[in-house]
A and B are shown apart, each in its own frame.
Chain A
Amino acid sequence: MKHTGIMKGEMNTKIDGLLTRIIERNVNGETYAWLLNKAADLNGKNNKDQLTIIFTSIPRKTGKKEIVIEETEAKEINAILPGFRIDHWTIDRLSRVWLLIQLEIDDKEKYISQIESLFSQAEMNELVALYSSLPLLSYPDAWKLRCAEGIRSNIGTVLEAIMYHNPYPSTYLDELAWNQLVMKAFFTNKNVNNIVGLDARANANLANTLFDYVEERWSANRTVNPQIWRLTTAYFDEPHLYMIEKLFNEADETDREAAALTCAESTNAKLNLLLDQHPQYKEAVAEKRLSWQVIADKQIF
């Protein structure tokens, strides 16, 4: 799954073609020509400031409307880069990401320092575009620390650019940084259902941190996001079984549904048995009327 070298291969050529087509349809002819010209200029000059100024001034040319994208295009993007979605992007965000994939990549050091320099003086919307571009950038290993840094942001839109429909974090982040991302998502009440690779990267350390977090919330008489439990199903041990019983007995309907899903998916035999005591939920799970997606759709974010 990991790419360690230059990534500008078949994938980027395909994505580039698609994004170019989408941009062409979403801007007027003059703006489209401006973008193409600037992208061509960019590679002619050995000048960081030039890139900064083009990157920065994009919304002045493109405006900031949400793009219109065909369903087939969205599917095509997802086929090339699973989990990656741009459907609700604004045109300036898409154009900025597109600009970055026009950069020449042969000189690794230059390429990385150009992009790092954009990060270092970016405003909010620029940060959103920069973090959105991570899965498309070359030398993917070079952006791990940057991505981890982004997770420390407290700006909602920046966090969402990293967390939502972005396949970079689950592919490249180490466990510590990944767990930070997931915890931060719960702490800031994000829709974790939009995190690419959420279930695949569940791990014991994360589950234990989440158990502690739940106990802390409960001690403070606060509720917890029912999506938490999907990350614990493989890691239930004796001392934490009471949590699921508590959900069935004391919590609200959504929590009971989450408890039922947890029991069904759990590797713990006692939890599997516990579900038998709640036949109506067992049935709902079996008939696939109940899923984490169904729960996410009921939640308010």
Chain B
Amino acid sequence: MSCSTDERETAETQKSIPLDLDAIKGMRFFDPHIHMVSRTTDDYQAMGDAGIVAVIEPAFWLGQPRTGVDTFRDYYSSLIGWERFRASQFGIKHYCTIGLNSREANNQKLAEQVMEILPLFIYKEGVVGVGEIGFDDQTPAEEKYYRLQLELAKEAGLPVQIHTPHRDKKKGTQRSMDIAIEHGLNPYSVIVDHNNEETVKEVLERGFWAAFTIYPFTKMGNERMVEIVKQYGTERIIVNSAADWGISDPLAVPKTAALMKIRGIDVKDIDLVCFRNAIIAFGQSGQIIESDFEEVQNLDQSKKFEGNSVLRGGQAPRINKSSLIIS
């Protein structure tokens, strides 16, 4: 998830390579961290066209704090309901992780109420983990609810998706891992997100999964990502976009894959970090069935073909964007 604009660094490089995804044509991608509630149908269409077949939407905050438990309930419901349906219309299989995010953990009165409803959601179909949880400001309240949710994940046998803080990242990441181990979680069931060059080594050495968010200005750029894969290989490394309501890119995973291809990384390795590893990591939930990816695509095609379930007024889901005429 993004941070605020005041934390935005200036772009490191101004060089530009024309966008051409031909190099990765026919490859399938999995974006295991993207906040689709903030994205448009245009994004879904572009993602499907670029080869993204499945996504994971972690529960997070919505840019401003919520004031009641019911808005949390509705948000979680939308992640397993409407958003999942919307994705299916574009041939994309949608999963989610459910959790109380670190920012809103600081509203303790509300946090208590949210903790009470979490068990009602984490066992739902397609919930592949508890997430994204962890530290933001690294307050005692954040720690309290992080620990409680680690216990919840352990009880439910679900992987954990950890959000690492923007500020004081290295220490926050170490602390997140220490606490997970203290609670007896197997590092192999924990995906540590938003890594960078400073955190990756320790995360991998301690047996955790290291996810990298390709997010303009504030997180990783994809050229840096190429270098990470060249240096650290592909074991337990995952690429995601964390695209949301900030200036972000829902095509970050296929674009990074294309750049890797151009920079000489083997297709097998690209497949691991941009598709397969996410399935292995989150598949530990027992909720990811790969054949479902094709089913949602077939379903979608037949839906388009048959004109069934198309959202409103029976219009075709695909619009011709290069035409001035809107019919």
Binding site for B on A (CB under 8 A): 49, 52-53, 56-57, 59-60, 120-127, 154-157, 159-160, 187-190, 300-301
Are B309 and A123 in contact, CB atoms less than 8 angstroms apart?
Answer: no
Give the distance in Å from the alpha carbon of A106 to the alpha carbon of B311 in the complex.
40
Q: Which residues of B contact A56 (CB under 8 A)?
A: 120, 123-125
| Chain B residues within an 8 Å CB radius of A154 | 82, 85, 311-312
Name B188-202 residues within 8 Å CB distance of A: none
The reply to whether B125 and A59 form a contact with Cβ atoms under 8 Å apart is yes
The reply on B306 being an interface residue by CB < 8 A is yes
Interfacial residues of chain B within 109-136, with CB under 8 A of chain A in the complex: 117, 119-121, 123-126
* A-side interface mostly: helix
Which of B81, B286, B306, B308 is within 8 Å of A123, CB to CB?
B81
Contacts of B307 in A (CB 8 A): 189, 300-301
The reply to whether the CB of B80 lies closer than 8 angstroms to some CB of chain A is yes
Tell which of B77, B286, B314 touches A189, judged by Cβ atoms closer than 8 Å: B314
- Provide the residues of chain A in CB contact with B310, threshold 8 Å: 156, 188-189
Find chain B residues with CB under 8 A from A127 CB. Answer: 81
Is B230 in contact with chain A by the CB < 8 A criterion? no
Contacts of B76 in A (CB 8 A): 121
Distance in angstroms from A13 CB to nearest chain B CB is: 31
B311 touches A121 (CB 8 A): no
Q: Can you sample 5 A-B contacts with CB below 8 Å?
A: A53-B123, A156-B308, A156-B309, A160-B309, A188-B309
| A125 near B125: Cβ-Cβ < 8 Å | yes
Pair A189/B308 contact, Cβ less than 8 Å: yes
Complex partner residue of B306 from A52, A125, A159, A300, CB under 8 angstroms: A300
**Contact surface of B with A, Cβ cutoff 8 Å:** 73, 76-77, 80-82, 84-85, 117, 119-121, 123-126, 286, 303, 306-314
Contact: B314 with A188, CB < 8 Å?
Answer: yes
Q: How far is the CA of A269 from the CA of B20 in the complex (A)?
A: 66
- Chain A nearest CB, measured from B22 CB (Å): 34
Flag if A122 contacts B81 (CB, 8 Å).
Answer: yes
Contact between chains at B314 and A187 (CB < 8 Å): yes
Which B residues are in CB contact (< 8 Å) with A49?
119-120
Q: Contacting A301 at CB < 8 Å: which of B81, B119, B306?
A: B306
Chain A residues with Cβ under 8 A from B77's Cβ? 120-123
Distance of B155 from chain A, by nearest CB (Å): 12
Q: Are A53 and B125 in contact (CB under 8 A)?
A: no
Q: How far is the CA of A154 from the CA of B310 in the complex (A)?
A: 9
Known: A155-B81, A155-B82. A123 touches B314 (CB 8 A): no
Interface contact A301-B125, CB-CB below 8 Å: no
Shortest CB-to-CB span from B116 to chain A, Å, is: 9
Q: Which of B82, B121, B309, B313 gathers most chain A CB within 10 Å?
A: B309
Q: Are A121 and B120 in contact (CB under 8 A)?
A: yes
Min CB gap B101→A, angstroms: 19
Which residues of chain B are near A189, meaning CB under 8 Å?
307-308, 310, 314
Bound CA–CA A188/B310 (angstroms): 7
For B306, list chain A residues within 8 Å (CB): 300-301
Determine how close the nearest CB of chain B comes to the CB of A170; give it in whole angstroms.
Answer: 22
Given contacts A52-B120, A301-B306, contact A124 B312 (CB under 8 A): no
Question: Across the two chains, which residue of chain A brings its CB closest to B77?
Answer: A121
What A residues does B308 contact at CB under 8 A? Answer: 156, 189-190, 301
Q: Nearest CB to that of A57 among chain B residues? A: B123
Residue of chain B at shortest CB distance from A156: B309
Residues of B within 8 A of A300 (CB): 306-307
A155 near B120: Cβ-Cβ < 8 Å: no
Question: A60: which B residues are within 8 A, CB to CB?
Answer: 286
Q: Give A190 to B314 CA distance when docked, in angstroms.
A: 9
Instruction: State the CA gap A187–B126 with chains docked (Å).
Output: 30
Q: Which residues on the A side are within 8 Å of B313 (C-beta)? A: 187
Residues of A within 8 A of B314 (CB): 187-189
Option from A53, A126, A160 in Cβ contact (under 8 Å) with B119: A53
Residues of A within 8 A of B73 (CB): 120-121
Most chain B Cβ neighbours within 10 Å, of A123, A125, A159, A189: A123
Closest A residue by C-beta to B307? A189
Which of A120, A156, A160, A187 has the most chain B CB atoms inside 10 A of its CB?
Answer: A156
Whether A121 pairs with B286 at a CB distance below 8 angstroms is: no
Contacts of A159 in B (CB 8 A): 309
What 4 A-B pairs have minimum CB-CB distances, sorted nearest first?
Answer: A156-B309, A123-B80, A189-B314, A155-B85
Residues of chain A contacted by B81 (CB below 8 angstroms) = 122-124, 127, 155
* Chain B residues near A57 (CB-CB < 8 A): 123
Q: Is B84 a contact partner of A124 (Cβ separation < 8 A)?
A: yes
State the Cβ distance, B326 to closest chain A Cβ, in Å: 12
Provide the bound-state CA to CA distance between A188 and B313, in Å. Answer: 6
Question: A123–B312 contact, CB under 8 A?
Answer: no
- Whole-angstrom distance between the alpha carbons of A155 and B312 in the complex? 10
Q: How far is the CB of B82 from chain A (nearest CB, A)?
A: 7
The distance from the CB of A61 to the nearest CB of chain B, in whole angstroms, is: 12
Among B73, B77, B80, B81, chain A packs the most CB atoms within 10 A around the CB of B81
